[in-house]
Structure 1
Amino acid sequence: MTSVFYTTFYGSTRQYAEALAARLGTVARELPATLEATGGPVVVLSPVHGPSHPGVRFIKSLPAIDRPLALVTVGMTLVDVARHDDAPGTFLGDRAGQVTRFYLPGRLNYSELTTAHRWTMKALVGALRLKRERTENEQALVDSYGQDIDRVDLTLLDPVVQWAQRA
């Protein structure tokens, strides 16, 4: 049976994890301190905030395991850009070859941000506004600044479900 683990900041990763677990006939659980060495496939869902990726930290902390392992990153980067850039693969370093990676769009509700996160976003968007030329992803961030945005799409879990069922 597939194990589904998650960590979340604002709830969209938990929403994906619970929907994935329901589709796989299991229960989504928060990331544990450690992982049992035996069992079925493991799916770790985690948000990414700049260079902070709790799912990557968790996977890198694991001893070598003989189980299929997938990392589902949830974030606000445009999906095509995130999949092309594959930042989690870079963050995973030499573990990247052992981990199947997926990227899903999340939710960013400015109305729910912590003070620290709100100031971080203000500084980031302020810096982006000073750039003469912005990437499509940077422009999307500037255009959506201050707005509650929900890009969660549960149908995008289909490839993750298929992976888990084949693993």
Structure 2
Amino acid sequence: MRAIARTAAILAAAATALLLATGSAGASTGTEHDPVSTPDATTASVLVTKLTHSDAASRLRSSGITWSSSGNCSDRSKPNCTSFDQVNLATIQGAQTLKSATGCALNVTGGTEVGHASGTYSHYNGYKLDFALSSCLTNYIKGTFTSIGGNKWRAGSGNVYYLESNHWDVTFYNCGGC
């Protein structure tokens, strides 16, 4: 029994070290204010499933979620594109859960492309999506979730919704009850 517990502890430590090591690798720092908050122990997940842009786009499309970019492109290496390459499955499922719960039209305006702030729970690492502002989405978030100050609201799932000047910046620690 002790051997199993010790092995589990070693695996958990290795997974945490891997997550922390990859959290800052490759992420680009941009001028956008992109707060990164740390989830509590019940919302964090160490192992994540990454999707290709094509798979993520297909999943969003099947839920009626649209996306756009100022550059009309999906190249992850260009900040004016909207890319879903290497997005977390739970992030896409979280967007689908949000669409289902709100009934609002959702348009993703930011994904995993460079140009956002770095950090473990960042856009580049697949945890965040930006959504275009709409009164439907804003009313739902403000009326349903708990205000935690600083233009941020936390869902019961632990996901954090941050109202920036021209979009909602959402950190999906999990799928939001999918």
- Same topology, TM > 0.5: no
Q: Compare the two structures and name the one with the higher helix fraction.
A: 1
* TM-score tier after normalising by the smaller chain length: under 0.3
TM-score, normalization by structure 1 = 0.27
- With normalisation by structure 2, the TM-score equals 0.26
